[in-house]
Amino acid sequence: MDVETPRSDDKAETGHIASSTSSPGKTTVHKEVEREDPDSKYQPTLRNLNGHIFRNVRGFSEKYFEGKPWSPLAEQLAKDIGTAVSSILFDDVLVQNVLDLFLGQSLVFEYKLPPGRSQYRRGNSHPLSGFDELDTPTLYLVHTSSQTPKAQHEWADVQAIGQCDTDDPADYRRQMLHFCTYAWRVFNNQPTRRVLHGFHISGLLVTLWVFDRAGAYSCVPFHIRTEPRRFLVAVAGYAMMSDEELGVDTFIQNDREGKYIMLTSKDDSICERLNLRERVRSHPGVVYSGPTCYRAERTGPDAGQVVVKFTWRTEAESPEEDILRKIAERKVWGVVQLFGNQDITSICDLHAGLSFESAVPLPLDRRSDIEGPPPASATKGTTISSNAEPSFPDLTFCCIAVHPVGRPIEAYSSISELLCAFIDIIRGHRSLYQNGRILHQDVSPGNIMITDRPAAGAPRGFLIDLDAARSLEASPATGERKGTRAFMALGVLDAKPHTYRHDMESLFYCLIWVAVCPKNGKMPPGGSRLWGWFQGGFAECAERKRSDIVGDGFEGVLNEFAEGLGGLKGLARELRTLLFTREDAGDEDADAFYDEMEAAFGRALLGVREKI
């Protein structure tokens, strides 16, 4: 979903029961991203982290390495091996040899740390599964407790990363992109992770880093030769940190039955165990880009399945559970229902005690590392406290469980099932708008579902994800665009106030999308006109879509319908006429308009059944 407001940080498309690694738009407070690096290998990292890098953060060492239960042991370990490491560092040898010897000596930690907790692995001797040593961090930390020893680890096992590179200022840009890409992979494989620690060495210059869902931030760089103890304390500290300190998601727990959470129901009547099953949706990136969803099984007196969604809610967003409670109170039909929810933590809490300067872009420049930060008296940082305005967006990590469970709209079993689902989605939207007095504002394939085994009288298709929904009691923000870009109505692309008819226009685009894309596919075939609906700026997308839908390109779009779906062309033509030739009379026309939308799908369904 894209949302254009005064904020400018990116999120990605939301969803319920569908896995996605790419999307035709983002859940975004939108910011145009320049194509800064021709090397496509690092483009995902650049797009995700650019503008979210904070360097020379004050309070870094105090927050992460001082006054901890393990601090005395870390200091003692640093003292025990510091002399040997210092002598190696002052030898007149090649930089790479120094790094190899240094790492070999630092692995002494493995044998002095309390057993059964964490161990370091070297990338050249223990490359991660599916990657060679050149694509594995120089050093990475894994847990050894409560698991069978692995012959080869995966990114899902990595708890901290360390990368050692040669002293080559000309290559520093690539080094940092490579290091940040390691963090990107860790979060991709641990999508509910909150924080990742790491260090980067360029030559003998060390920078300690922390990545979280708001970006990446570092300490003031220091030199190994002058401060070996500081580095050794950090390496020991990572290995002794608790799961909470390392940034592991401790809300999700593990036992012999597998992963689970404890969640209180919406009426606070019970705190129930929900057993998490397969992960059905997640989104790539370090900076938060979209929710992570699991199917889950209830264990209380009422058996059944729910969907558990983990999301980082922005300050600008109303809590989805508030909307869902209104839906229940107003007896809305055909829309997802709330089971329970809980706020877990926030970026503001994670950053407490730190002082930030302005964000810097990727790729970073080595010269500023070498020269060091400006003196504290010459800069005005932002300390995260109740009296300060953070220089980054605050996000709240929250968990919400909803039901029923469904299949993505593109996973239909027959044309008849697809059309039945669309009919009930129209009815659900009508109930949401007229009974609930709520406008969805993000009708897209990721947010419309087919019900698994619907009971009598239950909807065969339903709406999910009300993160972008607006109560009609609140006025729309001026100039705001909400929705998933490929499915935005032309009026929304033009930044006009969002209406119920815009949502129905979005549903029309969903039908076209499903008809063009291969069954169970997420994206259109190569060369499809639909790619132009979400690539580029809003004005470009509006121009191309207007040509394809209102202009002469419409028959070309229909000619892209997949084999077996040509029978839907007549429905598409009928909806086009209804949406673009019928005058918008506002709410006075709502009943008649919804009736005609539903009737068009009903006639198409009748035609399909007559052919059977």
Per-residue model confidence as pLDDT tens digits over 220-269: 999 888 888 898 899 889 999 999 999 999 999 999 999 999 999 887 77
Beta strands in 66-122 (DSSP E): 118-122
Please report the pLDDT score of residue 121 as a whole number. 86
Residue 49 lies in a domain: no
Q: Are residues 27 and 95 in the same domain?
A: no
Greater confidence (340 vs 94) lies with: 340
Average pLDDT over residues 534-545: 95
**Range name among 4-8, 125-129, 261-265, 368-372 with the lowest pLDDT average:** 4-8
Residue 562 lies in a domain: yes
Average pLDDT over residues 579-590: 88
Q: Are residues 97 and 12 in the same domain?
A: no
Q: Is the pLDDT of residue 129 over 50?
A: yes
**Range name among 12-26, 452-466, 562-576 with the lowest pLDDT average:** 12-26
Please report the pLDDT score of residue 381 as a whole number. 40
Looking at 240, 269, 299, the residue that finishes a domain is 240
CB count, 10 Å around CB of 145?
Answer: 8
Q: Are residues 309 and 443 in the same domain?
A: yes
Greater confidence (395 vs 5) lies with: 395
8 Å CB contact between 293 and 20: no
pTM: 0.83
User: For the stretch 461-484, what's the b/e string if a residue is b when 16 or more beta carbons lie within 10 angstroms of its beta carbon?
Assistant: bbbbbbbbbbeeeeeebeebbbbb
Q: What is the tally of structural domains in the chain?
A: 2
Using alpha carbons, list the distances in angstroms from residue 205 to 61, 173, 256, 539: 16, 15, 44, 46
Q: Is the pLDDT of residue 186 over 50?
A: yes
Q: Is the pLDDT of residue 475 over 60?
A: yes
Residue 76 lies in a domain: yes
Domain that holds residue 7: 2-34+255-345+397-611
Q: Are residues 221 and 266 in the same domain?
A: no
Residue 47 lies in a domain: no
Please report the pLDDT score of residue 315 as a whole number. 85
Tens-place pLDDT, residues 283-315 = 889 999 889 999 999 997 778 899 999 999 988
Return the SS3 of 493: helix
Residue 338 lies in a domain: yes
Question: CATH number of the domain that 88 lies in?
Answer: 3.90.1570
Percentage of the chain surpassing pLDDT 70?
Answer: 82
Residue 82 lies in a domain: yes
Residue 351 lies in a domain: no
Q: Are residues 135 and 189 in the same domain?
A: yes
Q: Is the pLDDT of residue 378 over 80?
A: no
Q: Are residues 265 and 136 in the same domain?
A: no
8 Å CB contact between 75 and 415: no
DSSP string, 367-435: HHHHH-PPPGGG---EE-STT---SS--EEEEEEEEE--EEEGGG-SSHHHHHHHHHHHHHHHHHHHHT
Please report the pLDDT score of residue 377 as a whole number. 33
Please report the pLDDT score of residue 97 as a whole number. 53
8 Å CB contact between 10 and 51: no
